Amino acid sequence: MTNGTSVRVVAAGDHFILPSLIREALDHELPCTTRELKLSWPLTPFGPVAEVTEASDAEDELIEALTGAQVLVTQMGPVTDRVLEACPDLKLVVVCRGGPVNVNLDAAKRHDVRVCYAPGRNAAATAEFTIGLMLAALRRIPQAHDLLARRSSWEGATYYTYEHSGLELEDLPVGLIGYGAVGSRVARVLCAFGARVMVFDPYVQGEIHGLRVPSLDELLERSHVITLHARLTPETHGLIGARELALLPKGSVVVNAARGPLLDEQALCESLETGHLSAAALDTYVQEPLPPTSPLHALADRVVLTPHLGGASRAVAEKAARIAAAEVSRWARGEPLAHCLT
């Protein structure tokens, strides 16, 4: 809270959520003095930094930029114990993503720093991307493109044979594991396609789009496509492994644009190799970037692989900046924060 004085903010953006987007959103909300810092993500992959995960390796740059600042707005800035200790003026951190995995929350509490985040910023983008992955895997679109555009080959016409042609969404039993902000949007779109949507989510009550299924096993046994939308927790880590994949009907398709560790990649590869699964479409992986040694690369004719692009839309960056700026404005006016964890 600033008692009417201008708020001193560091906009530690990157090549996706640009520092200028954050500054413009802040200028629309409140009087502030903004210093811009541009981190290297996604041109340089994120990773663990000290005790936090999924951050840019930029502690020194962040400490320097935060000199005298009260507020940090960032997506990938590493808000570690070291950074917090070195920045005694810092009072508020707003993370422009669905969860503050780049912030040491315990250290923030010790230093009396409030931590906020931007839930729902990429729900629409990720849902749309999930549908795109599903269609690409079902109809072999990337493989056909590669043959024709890159190899000048009409071989992709074999996908018009009965044996190799794909599945259509209309009347297809599709199982959703998780029915949060992304899963619920995917369900609505699938219903519009005419898919037979089934949902397993023990934490969601009330009406849903589709048929609620009481157990994960039943969902798997009845689905020809499954798409993962659960949050990654100790409970859901490795949720879909060899046993679960074996429950799917032969020729099924797996889609994961949520979090890589929800799915046992080795078990997935084995199921694809044996032909039990016909295809998979993945945007997230156990290890990111996906290692060149991953067996997924050898399955290019059966997989669609994208480098964690589900939330990559300009609207997401703009929404995140606006959500963050609104939270800074609430803090400056002494109002309750909307999305605060500490």
Say whether 229 is catalytic.
Answer: no
Q: List the catalytic residue out of 140, 308, 330, 339.
A: 308
Residue 82 one-letter amino acid:
R
Give Cα separations from 307 to 81, 214, 225 (angstroms).
30, 33, 21
Contacts of 325 (CB under 8 A, 6+ apart): 22, 25, 26, 28, 29, 30, 73
Burial (CB count <10 Å: 0-12, 13-18, 19+), residue 274: exposed
> How many of the other CB atoms lie within 10 Å of CB of 45?
14
Say whether 85 is catalytic.
Answer: no
Say whether 259 is catalytic.
Answer: yes
Give dist(CA 177, CA 22) in Å, integer.
Answer: 34
> How many of the other CB atoms lie within 10 Å of CB of 117?
23
* 262: Cα separation from own chain's centroid: 13
Q: List the catalytic residue out of 259, 302, 330, 339.
A: 259
Are 76 and 56 a contacting pair, CB within 8 Å? yes
Active site residues: 259, 288, 308
